[in-house]
Amino acid sequence: MPERELVQRINRLKAEKGAVILAHNYQPPEIQDLADHLGDSLDLGRLAHSLDNGIVIFCGVRFMAETAAILSPEKKVILPDPSAGCPMADMISANGIIEMKAKHPGAAVVMYVNSPVSVKAQSDICCTSANALDVISTIPADRKIIFGPDKHLGAWVSSTTGREMILWQGYCPVHQKFSVQRIRELKVENPGAEVIVHPEVNPSISAEADAVLGTNGMIRYAGRSETDAFIVGTEKEMCYRLQNEYPAKRFIPASGSAICKNMKKNTLEKVLNSLENLEPVITVDETTASKARHAIERMIEIG
């Protein structure tokens, strides 16, 4: 089916069923263009909860849809491709966190939202890359902090805040696609360009950056900067989002191979199927959800 016809059918069904389409900043261009709302995981979690729509088509990866389902159990949260996972989230387990808590009694568990529901259920509070610094500031200075699963985000938060943290050794494979050499080459090729990178990157890449930011932070930074060119160190599709926001500026991917295959599993055909059949619905058993909800709600409150 031609793309134009797909989009028309999706929009018609969306209106008929009172659905809303949410899409992460890393989604393919055609999904970004289709979405009612774009954002990072924190934005989308808030929106899924606050919007009146009873049906949420969540174009992202599974942990994001699960978070939305926990916050809004009365809604149908549908992930067009339920196999869209997160390799980083798969690197951590509830049993592993339980063992860390036993080794460090009394430590606060701050868990990156890129984690399984079972791990969130063992946490005191969740965070995103956008609000990790603010979340850490709420933990008393004399309390140890267990942070996971991303060791690079954790190390950046630790160095920025001066807080000692016990880090789980997970990482995002996509954010390991950058090289110092290539960034330096791009800076020579694009004189005056600013380098903005995600805190999930390797510390050697962060050291090359003018700013270390989550995806929404990148949007705000690019808007207020007087610079007209940016080298962007995160998933490649973020450049599409930024280019649409600021067409007069240039956004250069720091690596053409920084592509999250899981984010690309959601397609127009799968979105259409989701609206036609109202499935696959993402559900979380209430016992686990109730334990995880407190940590997620605390994250949302901090913003």
CATH number of 119's domain: 3.40.50.10800
142 is in which domain, residue-wise?
A: 89-172+290-302
pTM for the full predicted model:
0.94
State the chain's mean pLDDT as an integer: 96
Token output for 97: 């966190």
Residue 43's pLDDT is 87
**For residues 206 and 200, what is the distance between their CA atoms, to the nearest angstrom?**
9
* Percent of the chain scoring above 90 in pLDDT: 95
Mean pLDDT of 109-115: 96
Whether 99 maps to a domain, the answer reads: yes
Whether the CB-CB separation of 238 and 218 falls below 8 Å is answered with: yes
Q: Give the DSSP letter of residue 293.
A: H
**pLDDT at residue 25 is higher than 80:** yes
Asked if residue 268 and residue 224 are part of one domain, the reply reads no
**For residues 210 and 151, what is the distance between their CA atoms, to the nearest angstrom?**
21
Whether 69 maps to a domain, the answer reads: yes
**pLDDT at residue 154 is higher than 90:** yes
**pLDDT at residue 226 is higher than 90:** yes
**pLDDT at residue 77 is higher than 90:** yes
**pLDDT at residue 303 is higher than 80:** no
Whether the CB-CB separation of 46 and 67 falls below 8 Å is answered with: no
Residue 139's pLDDT is 96
**pLDDT at residue 91 is higher than 90:** yes
Mean pLDDT of 31-60: 93
Length of the chain: 303
Whether 271 maps to a domain, the answer reads: yes
Whether 258 maps to a domain, the answer reads: no
Residue 41's pLDDT is 85
Asked if residue 79 and residue 21 are part of one domain, the reply reads yes
Q: What are phi and psi of 93, to 5 degrees?
A: -135, 155
Nearest in space to 232 (alpha carbons), one of 244, 245, 223, 219 = 219
